Every structure is written in structure tokens, then in C-alpha cells.
Structure 1
Amino acid sequence: MNALHQYLFDTYRAARLGEPAPPAPGTHDIAVLRAVRERRRFERALAGRRARGRLRTALWNRRHGGAS
């Protein structure tokens, strides 16, 4: 059974019991990814490292011959 089948079963059960329908699969995916990104930035800031721009800085240093 995949997520769509489970969603259909849950929707059917909720309708029979008079409960609100569950959210569709994938509804909150973007919000979860943003929360993970923000959490990682927060943890980096607590550790005293740069909270963002690590990849861009590494590419800049590589292109311009600096040490990273």
C-alpha cells in the first residue's frame, strides 16, 4: 500500500465517522523542508560557524585561488 491508498482509506474512514478529512499527501512537504533548513542554520549559528553561504564561499575561494 502506498501513501495514496492510505490517504483514500483514511478519507473514507473519516467520512463514515463524521471526522474532518486528513490532509492530502505532500501538502506540507515544502514547509518541512524549510523547517529543516532553518534548523540547520540555527545549529550552525550556535556552533559558531557561518549560518549560510558555505557553498558560495567555497566556490569563490576555488575560483580565485584562495584557501577554504
Structure 2
Amino acid sequence: MNALHQYLLDTYRAEQLGEPAPPAPGTHDVAVLRAVRDRRRFERVLAGRPVRGGLRTVLRRLLRLRARAC
């Protein structure tokens, strides 16, 4: 059973019991991703590392390694 099937089953049960319907799958995905990003930024500040440029630094390092290997 995937998430859509579970959602449809939960919606049906909620309707039968007179309860509010559950949120659709994926409704809060963007909020969760933002919260994860904010938490990682906060942890970087506490560790004394720069907040911006972490992903760029890693990608630049990977590209340099591939350029040297070729």
C-alpha cells in the first residue's frame, strides 16, 4: 500500500466517523525541507562555520577531483 492508498483509506474512515479529513500526502513537504535547512544553518552557526557556501564548497571540491581524474 502506498501513501495515496493509505490517504484514501484514512479519508474514508474519517468520513465514516465524522472526523476531519487528514492532510493530503505532500502537503507539508516544503515546510519540512525549510525546517531542515534552518536547523542545519543554526548548527553551522553554533559550530562557528560559515552559514553560506557549504553546498557550493562540496560541489566545487567534487568537480576538482573529477577534473584531476580525467
TM range (shorter): 0.7 to 0.9
- Count, aligned residues: 60
- Give the AA of the match of 2:13: R
Secondary structure of the structure 2 residue equivalent to 1:31: helix
Structure 1 residues not aligned, in runs of 5+:
63-68
Provide the TM-score with structure 1 as the length reference: 0.79
When you count helix as a share of all residues, which structure comes out higher? 2
1:40: which partner in 2?
40
1:25: which partner in 2?
25
1:14: which partner in 2?
14
Separation in 2 of the partners of 1:3 and 1:48? 40
Structure 2 residues not aligned, in runs of 5+:
65-70
Provide the TM-score with structure 2 as the length reference: 0.76
